[in-house]
A and B are shown apart, each in its own frame.
Chain A
Amino acid sequence: MPIVEGTYGLLAEFDTPTQLVRAAENAYSAGYRRMDCYTPYPVEEAAEAIGFHKNEVSLVCLIGGLLGVAAMFGLETWISLWAYPLNIAGRPYYSWPAFVVPAYEWTILFAGLSAAFGMLALNGLPQVYHPLFNAANFRNGASTDKFFLCLEATDPKFEPAETRSFLETLAPLSVVEVEY
């Protein structure tokens, strides 16, 4: 992997989620697209403000669940009808009520695992290095009581001086330049 150098982005720090969301909305309407919000707890409106409306985790979860129910129900049907048919209390081989509980369990299992691993796969975690941790205020605040907006240098609209003055109009506590 090539070593990247230079500026990762400009990091603005806010005291409240409301200020963060307002800043993110302003940045989005000013034309910035490559940016991200960092908050100590989920703030759904922040995701919305930067144009992130949907993620695919729910779809992955749904597909996982459907695969789970199909796999277990199929397995039970195959065992009971073809592989090892047993006469249990004279019931028909295809006794679907008895198949429902394991099939349900597998639905939940597959859906849960798909959601967890799908989430990791789609959000790029685990990540061993992130440039933002070079900023001291981020290290201290992002997981406690501060709300951050980072405009990234890869954005075509990014100009160090201009972007900094733009961010300062949003009344942040601080604006820090973050290195890779």
Chain B
Amino acid sequence: MSHSHHTKTLPDQLAAPAFVAGWRSRALVIGAIFSAVAVVLGFLSGDGWSHFLRAWLLGLMITFGFSVGGMALLMVQYLSGGKWGLLVRRPLEAMSRTLPIPFLYFLPVAIFGVNFKKLYLWAQYPDAASAAKQHLITNEQAHAIIFKHGMLNPTTFWVTSLFCFAVWFLYSYLLNSWSLKRDADPAPNVPYWQTKFENISGFGVVVYAILLTACAILWVMSLDPTWYSTVYGLQFLVGQGYGVLALVILTLIGLSNAEPIKTIFRVTEQHDLGKLCFAFTMLNMYLAFASFLIIWSGNSPEEIPWYLDRIRGNWGVIATLDVIFHWLIPFSLLLSRDLKRIKSRLVVVCCIMIFARCWDMWWLIEPNFADARRNLHFSVGMLEYLAVPTALIAFWMAYYFTQLTKRPLVATNDPHLAEILEPEHAHA
């Protein structure tokens, strides 16, 4: 029998192992190579950098999901408790501290997409009525742009987005600085800190859900001004949880080759995190399919075109693959108890899950544009969806790894720490 019967002791050295610096330089190299590829493709594609910007938006949504979603999961684990929460706390804090990166990524989307009118139809045709008369846009689009003008205009876009970032920067600052203070607290006032974190997190989760809905609507949904769906924000929320869980498991498994994670990462908690992934896989599919089923049943001419844009003209293949990557593969694999307990296999599932997030985002973004809707076709610009997000995610990862090395990887002022050091069978 391999497992120990004795309570383990926490290693003296809690800092991130040295190989994290190696991960970072690898991420930087990948980022640099794919940036160069993206720029070359931008010149070759001859579409006025349109696809470059669309792919940039995809990269923004994925890295934004890791940062803000990581912060949301951090708050959720303060609220739910549980030993898995202690394990993931420092990686999630590191994710929440990467918020400056999505903010930098957001600026080009806002400046070029809105102010230079490269992405959003409502920014391009503020005078929608005359644009419709000249047949630049359809009557439905004109109607939607006029009707939604209060929300879909450059000022609201900037103000809302900056407000969301400001609130999240504040939350990221508070959660991170309190966490260090908690560890440094000479008197272990555990109930005091638990209450403090529960209070900020309970409110924070609600604020996060509302602000995320606003951002998802402004940044992605408004690419098609005619589209509306009340579950849209929630789908992004669950998608962020899905991606963050996959990333945090990858991080822990990567770090578990060395101390201190080697000591505290037990199979029980790995199994728990795998089960959470399974739950998110199910919830994600549930929301996506429920919204599709309702709109399919209603078959109303106001709603159904959004799906037809994403099914007809070979987009159906992409949608089917989306279901396979997003749900069928992770769901079938995560059914297995053994798989969740074997690191090398769980890693594969987590990689598929992160890839599926990008695939899904591509399917959400690209068919919004007139040249692509109901018409999936190859163009050089399409390759930007490979190059730009890879570069953006790689640079984000490099910053994330830097943040991981900034703090001890284990939060110490927490009663769960003693429990996690016990042998696995001490508690059921």
Q: Which residues of A contact B (CB under 8 A)?
A: 16-18, 21-22, 25, 41-46, 48-49, 58, 62, 89, 91, 97-98, 100-101
Residue in B closest to A42 when the chains form the complex, CB atoms: B428
| A17-B426 CB under 8 A given contacts A22-B5, A45-B3, A101-B293 | yes
Instruction: Report, nearest first, the 6 A-B pairs whose CB atoms are least far apart.
Output: A45-B425, A41-B428, A17-B425, A97-B296, A42-B428, A43-B425
Which residues of B (405-428) have their CB < 8 Å from a CB of A?
A: 423-426, 428
Given the complex, which residues of B lie within 8 Å of A62, measured CB to CB?
A: 335
Q: Is B163 an interface residue (CB 8 A)?
A: no
| Complex Cα–Cα for A17 and B423 (A) | 10
Q: Which residues of B contact A (CB under 8 A)?
A: 1, 3, 5, 289, 292-293, 296-297, 299, 335, 337, 423-426, 428
| A49-B299 CB under 8 A given contacts A43-B428, A44-B425 | no
Is the Cβ of B293 less than 8 Å from the Cβ of A21? no
Is the Cβ of B5 less than 8 Å from the Cβ of A100? no
Select the residue from A42, A44, A48 with max chain B CB neighbours within 10 A.
Answer: A44
Is the Cβ of B425 less than 8 Å from the Cβ of A46? yes
Given the complex, which residues of A lie within 8 Å of B424, measured CB to CB?
A: 44-45
| A58-B337 CB under 8 A given contacts A97-B296, A98-B297, A100-B289 | yes
16 contacts between A and B (CB under 8 A): A16-B426, A17-B426, A18-B426, A21-B5, A25-B1, A43-B425, A44-B424, A44-B428, A45-B3, A45-B425, A48-B1, A62-B335, A91-B299, A97-B297, A98-B293, A100-B293
| Complex Cα–Cα for A89 and B423 (A) | 61
Given the complex, which residues of A lie within 8 Å of B292, measured CB to CB?
A: 97
| Complex Cα–Cα for A25 and B425 (A) | 13
Is the Cβ of B293 less than 8 Å from the Cβ of A89? no
| Complex Cα–Cα for A100 and B297 (A) | 13
Residue in A closest to B425 when the chains form the complex, CB atoms: A45
A32–chain B nearest beta-carbon distance, Å: 15
Is the Cβ of A49 less than 8 Å from the Cβ of B1? yes
B286–chain A nearest beta-carbon distance, Å: 9
Given the complex, which residues of B lie within 8 Å of A16, measured CB to CB?
A: 426
| Complex Cα–Cα for A44 and B299 (A) | 51
**Interface residue from B5, B289, B335, B337 paired with A18 (Cβ < 8 Å):** B5
B272–chain A nearest beta-carbon distance, Å: 13
Given the complex, which residues of A lie within 8 Å of B1, measured CB to CB?
A: 25, 48-49
Given the complex, which residues of A lie within 8 Å of B3, measured CB to CB?
A: 45
Given the complex, which residues of A lie within 8 Å of B5, measured CB to CB?
A: 18, 21-22
Residue in A closest to B422 when the chains form the complex, CB atoms: A18
Residue in A closest to B297 when the chains form the complex, CB atoms: A98
Residue in A closest to B271 when the chains form the complex, CB atoms: A44
Given the complex, which residues of A lie within 8 Å of B428, measured CB to CB?
A: 41-44
B44–chain A nearest beta-carbon distance, Å: 40
A105–chain B nearest beta-carbon distance, Å: 13
| Complex Cα–Cα for A61 and B426 (A) | 29
What 13 new A-B contacts, CB under 8 Å, besides A45-B424, A58-B337? A16-B426, A18-B423, A21-B5, A21-B425, A25-B1, A41-B428, A43-B425, A43-B428, A45-B3, A49-B1, A91-B299, A97-B296, A100-B289
| Complex Cα–Cα for A98 and B290 (A) | 11
B294–chain A nearest beta-carbon distance, Å: 10
A172–chain B nearest beta-carbon distance, Å: 16
Given the complex, which residues of B lie within 8 Å of A42, measured CB to CB?
A: 428
A151–chain B nearest beta-carbon distance, Å: 18
| Complex Cα–Cα for A161 and B23 (A) | 61
| Complex Cα–Cα for A21 and B423 (A) | 11
